[in-house]
Amino acid sequence: MSSVGDTTKQLVVTVERGIATILLNRPEKRNAVTYAMWCALTQHCERLATDPEVRLLVVRGAGDHFCAGADIGGLADVPIEEYRSANEAADRALARFPKPSIAFIAGACVGGGAEIAIACDLRLASANARFGITPARLGIVYPAPAVERAVRLIGASAAKHLLYSAEIVDADRALRIGLVDELLEPEHAEARLHELTNLLASERSLLSQMAAKEMVDSVSENGQVGAEIERKWTDALAHSEDSLEGIAAFLERRKPRFKWRPGDS
């Protein structure tokens, strides 16, 4: 396992068996995000995106909570435009992470925490999780890219309800509106995360996953898979042995050993 930073840092990154984990590490503040943490989140996402050893990314919080949002107490320390720029850069870097990403959620997932979770591909939540998009409590405006992603994920009506009311909803409601992909009992949540991440990182084709991510995102944003994207992945498939390995493994009734990595010709 490799590590960046240590447990005294507000944001801790580890990589183990191809699985990168970004840990929001302010449990005493329910992992509220500071300006420095937004900046670090951008840097780590960009670095991990190009790391050939990384197959997928997990974002989670230390202690009992995922993230209670932005650290409101620190907002006065940085000019608002500078803070907004850092926040939007982190949101963009996480949403554009080219490999699969998972938000692993327990406790509070509110405001900026919901923004982080929605920027990930999948959201696994413990039954004790609580969700809210809360700018109306503070008289501020949620970042436009985060609003766009929320609407694409849960629909206009559900997004308006959360944005208008700033109400905190439970995990059952989050599941019903599509904010959560899997709802897990707390005692089983870690085991399910381990099971899913191991499956994605060691038994599935990264070529297939990255192609699917870019295509799905293109459909979500533009209504279709662009011709350039289709050509890109058709060419990658033609120069990869993953399909041969996948078929062989299926016929031989064994786990596949996929080898493709970004940059392979």
Mean pLDDT over 74-85 rounds to 84
Percent of the chain whose predicted confidence (pLDDT) is above 70: 97
In the prediction, which pLDDT does 187 show? 97
Residue with tokens 């998972």: 102
Q: What is the helix (H) or strand (E) element at residue 47, kind and residue range? A: helix 35-49
In the prediction, which pLDDT does 192 show? 98
Burial class (CB in 10 A: 0-12, 13-18, 19+), 153: middle
Token pair recorded at residue 63: 């202690």
Give me the domains of the chain, ranges plus CATH numbers: 2-200 (3.90.226.10), 205-252 (no CATH)
Terminal CA-CA length for the chain: 28
In the prediction, which pLDDT does 78 show? 84
The arrangement of strands across the sheet holding 130-132 comes to 108-110, 130-132, 169-170
In the prediction, which pLDDT does 4 show? 43
Token pair recorded at residue 178: 């599509």
Q: What is the helix (H) or strand (E) element at residue 14, kind and residue range? A: strand 11-16
Strands 182-184 and 169-170, bridge-based pairing: unpaired
In the prediction, which pLDDT does 45 show? 98
In this model, does residue 8 exceed pLDDT 70? Answer: no
- The per-residue pLDDT for range 16-71, each reduced to its tens digit, is 999 999 999 999 999 999 999 999 999 999 999 999 999 999 999 999 999 999 88
In the prediction, which pLDDT does 80 show? 85
Q: Which amino acid is residue 192, in one-letter code?
A: R
pLDDT confidence tier of residue 201, bands split at 50, 70 and 90:
very high
Query: Is the distance from CB of 12 to CB of 40 less than 8 angstroms?
Result: no
In this model, does residue 155 exceed pLDDT 90? Answer: yes
In the prediction, which pLDDT does 74 show? 73
Query: Is the distance from CB of 45 to CB of 89 less than 8 angstroms?
Result: no
- The per-residue pLDDT for range 203-259, each reduced to its tens digit, is 999 999 999 999 999 999 999 999 999 999 999 999 999 999 999 999 999 999 999
In this model, does residue 189 exceed pLDDT 60? Answer: yes
pLDDT confidence tier of residue 77, bands split at 50, 70 and 90:
confident
